[in-house]
Amino acid sequence: MKLVAGNIFGFWMFLVVAIFTLVLINYSKSGKINITLRKIAGLEAIEESIGRATEMGKPIHFSPGLGDIIGATAAETFAALEVLSYVTRMSAKYNAELVVTIRQPNVFPLAQESVKQQYMAAGKSDMFKEDTVRFLSNQQVAYTTGVVGFMHREKVAANIMAGLYMGEALLLAEAGAQIGAIQVAITASMTQLPFFVAACDYTIIGEELFAAGAYLSQDRIKLGGIAAQDYIKLAVMATAVAGALLMSSGSNFLNRLLVK
């Protein structure tokens, strides 16, 4: 068994970066380093929007996005499920009805189990109903239509969208804006950012989606991961600058190394 050409450098870098991340996570876990995250206004707004839903007696809508838990979109969906845990905890705290709509069948059992467990942990098992987590359709347009219809019928007070979004982003966000819901969008889907920014009250972009779980739970393991993320990014930036300088001076050493 040997590594295929083109993946050799990538594989070793994967190992180095993974070990580095684990070391930082362990440091954070054991309290050797303390990590404080900067304030992310949009995430603070989630609790506020749920409190408002309770005052209004209207439900909160949560969508974990259109991504699956397999393939390239998995990380975004897992990050969205972390946000769902927090939203469920807040919904239990404020006694606000939560409705989660699902597009990907694979995500359905995970979301259902997560919501059920969070309610149980908060001692509010009775808040979990069979239609708290609803599978609508795995057809993108049918799912969108279902969510838009639901938001209009139930006049939801808060609409929280986390994870991967595609063309339906504006349809969902504009429907929320029309009924006056507080809207928080948390996504790394770059093509949809302009629409969320235009139609939502708070938009959390790019890697902030992956930081959301750590931010909301203040869990030391997750915080360690965030610190590792920043150091890795610094290393990538340094590599990019070094690559540009080397290429400009006529050497393609780094280029050759990266494609090894």
Region for 180 from its dihedrals, namely left if φ exceeds 0, alpha if ψ lies in -120 to 50, beta otherwise:
left
Q: Which residues contact 47 (CB under 8 A, 6 or more apart)?
A: 90
What backbone phi and psi angles, to 5 degrees, belong to 60?
Answer: -105, 140
Minimum CB distance to another protein, residue 252 (Å): 15
- Closest to 181 (Cα-Cα) out of 99, 103, 88: 99
Minimum CB distance to another protein, residue 126 (Å): 17
User: How do beta strands 202-205 and 98-102 pair?
Assistant: unpaired
Minimum CB distance to another protein, residue 228 (Å): 6
Residue 205 contacts residue 43 (beta carbons within 8 Å): no
Minimum CB distance to another protein, residue 88 (Å): 10
Nearer to another protein, 55 or 241 (CB): 241
Nearer to another protein, 15 or 55 (CB): 15
Q: Which residues contact 197 (CB under 8 A, 6 or more apart)?
A: 203
Minimum CB distance to another protein, residue 78 (Å): 5
Minimum CB distance to another protein, residue 119 (Å): 10
Residue 19 contacts residue 180 (beta carbons within 8 Å): no
Nearer to another protein, 121 or 247 (CB): 121
Nearer to another protein, 221 or 245 (CB): 221
Minimum CB distance to another protein, residue 206 (Å): 4
Q: What's the CA gap between 159 and 49, in Å, rounded?
A: 8
What backbone phi and psi angles, to 5 degrees, belong to 184?
Answer: -125, 120
Nearer to another protein, 55 or 70 (CB): 70
Q: What's the CA gap between 230 and 80, in Å, rounded?
A: 20
Nearer to another protein, 236 or 245 (CB): 236
Nearer to another protein, 56 or 148 (CB): 148
CA atoms within 13 A on the CB side of 198: 11
Q: What's the CA gap between 76 and 257, in Å, rounded?
A: 30
Minimum CB distance to another protein, residue 169 (Å): 9
Q: Is residue 95 classed as helix, strand or coil in its secondary structure?
A: coil
The DSSP code for 106 is T
